[in-house]
Structure 1
Amino acid sequence: MSSNTPPADTTPTPQHPMSTEEALAAAAVAEADALAALTNEVSELKAKNADLAEQFLRAKAEAQNTMRRAEEEMAKARKFAVESFAEGLLPVLDSFEAGLSIQEATLEQLREGSEATLKQLRSALERHKVVSIAPEAGAKFDPNQHQAISLVPADQPTNTVVTVLQKGYLIADRVLRPALVTVAAPK
């Protein structure tokens, strides 16, 4: 069967075709919504940036305050360390002055007073961790704590201390002054 009717159009047709003006209006609304969303996002980012900048400034100020306090504490520690050391030496000074104030002291009194004063001085130094370096004869030469003045022939092993010419001193395990020693020469 043939019919003279054309086939039916199957494409859907909009119920209300949009005019150009309506399309422009819809696009303008969409653009306004997008602009509002971007403006809102920019405002949020600015607020977050301001908050982070404030946090940074506070942290920076806190770090500066911490450094300043640490420097002040170190200065106080140095000052009071010297003060404590000087305070420990005052009794020694008093003993020297007392000994020198005696006009007619005997040799024995001078010796006793000097020994007592020396004991006080050693005690004050030890309280502040100042200890002597005085190696015994035959001890191995230690270049970290001893300074060799000369090599001398001796009946002992090479590179050992023969005599101590001057004591050395440590302060809290750090060499303040090395001991001056003579060392056994190689045979």
Structure 2
Amino acid sequence: MNEQDQPSETAVEIEINGAEESVETPVEEVLQELTVESVQAELELALARIDEQQADVLRAQADVQNIRRRSEQDVAKAHKFGQEKLMTEVVSLLDNLSRAIDAAGVEGASLEVLLEGVEMSQKMLLSGLKKFNVDQLDPHGEPFDPELHEAMTAVPNPDLEPNTVMEVFQKGYTLNGRLVRPAMVVVSK
């Protein structure tokens, strides 16, 4: 490399000085624009935003607590008063049974009148239970289903296919399709 190819020291210094000037110029401008008052104003604005956001967070937390409290109260009320409609049906049934008992106590009352009153009460109760998705299982003549029926005994019967319900000792019930009590039955062998 000859002397002409190498940059002179003064040229290098000028380039370095020029670069320093270009870097220092924007910083100096920014520093000149920043005054104590402007920085303090920006700080106050940022602090105000923080205060506002903290208040929003506190309000949101309070809303969540209120919603949680209200939902807990609603659940408690549902547990406490959830059976109210069912009880209305049961109370009506009790009224009818009381009338049937009163009618049976009247002199000259027939057994047929008493039986009719009890049958009406039974129909009323079944109708009321149906409103609450309670279904009665009366599987007489149906194939035995161990999921819904409880076999009390098996009796040979040549007229029926094996495992057919011949007699129902006690009817079963389901609530919303879920077994509450199985039907107690006699099945054929």
Asked if structure 2 preserves the Cα contact closer than 8 Å seen for 1:135 and 1:161, the reply is yes
Return the offset for 1:92: 2.1
**Aligned-residue identity in percent:** 21
TM-score, normalised relative to structure 2: 0.65
Return the offset for 1:148: 0.5
1:115 corresponds to: 115
1:88 corresponds to: 93
Return the offset for 1:126: 2.3
Gaps spanning 5+ residues in structure 1: where? 1-8, 14-25
Asked if structure 1 preserves the Cα contact closer than 8 Å seen for 2:150 and 2:184, the reply is yes
2:150 corresponds to: 147
Q: Which amino acid aligns with 1:123?
A: K
Comparing both structures, which one devotes a greater share of its residues to helix? 2
SS of residue paired to 1:96: helix
For residues 180 and 75 of structure 2, what CA distance do their matches in structure 1 show? Answer: 27
**Residues 41, 167 of structure 1: alpha-carbon distance in 2 compared, 3 angstrom cutoff:** same
2:23 corresponds to: none
Aligned-residue RMSD, C-alpha: 3.6
1:64 aligned to 69, 72, 86, which one? Answer: 69
**Residues 27, 61 of structure 1: alpha-carbon distance in 2 compared, 3 angstrom cutoff:** same
SS of residue paired to 1:136: coil
Gaps spanning 5+ residues in structure 2: where? 1-9, 18-29
1:41 corresponds to: 46
**Residues 131, 50 of structure 1: alpha-carbon distance in 2 compared, 3 angstrom cutoff:** closer
For residues 173 and 117 of structure 1, what CA distance do their matches in structure 2 show? Answer: 30
- Give the paired residue count: 162
Asked if structure 2 preserves the Cα contact closer than 8 Å seen for 1:150 and 1:181, the reply is yes
Q: Which amino acid aligns with 1:125?
A: L
**Residues 52, 75 of structure 1: alpha-carbon distance in 2 compared, 3 angstrom cutoff:** same
Return the offset for 1:122: 2.0
TM-score, normalised relative to structure 1: 0.66
**Residues 50, 132 of structure 1: alpha-carbon distance in 2 compared, 3 angstrom cutoff:** closer
SS of residue paired to 2:82: helix
Asked if structure 2 preserves the Cα contact closer than 8 Å seen for 1:92 and 1:121, the reply is yes
Return the offset for 1:104: 5.2
1:4 corresponds to: none
2:161 aligned to 154, 157, 160, which one? Answer: 157
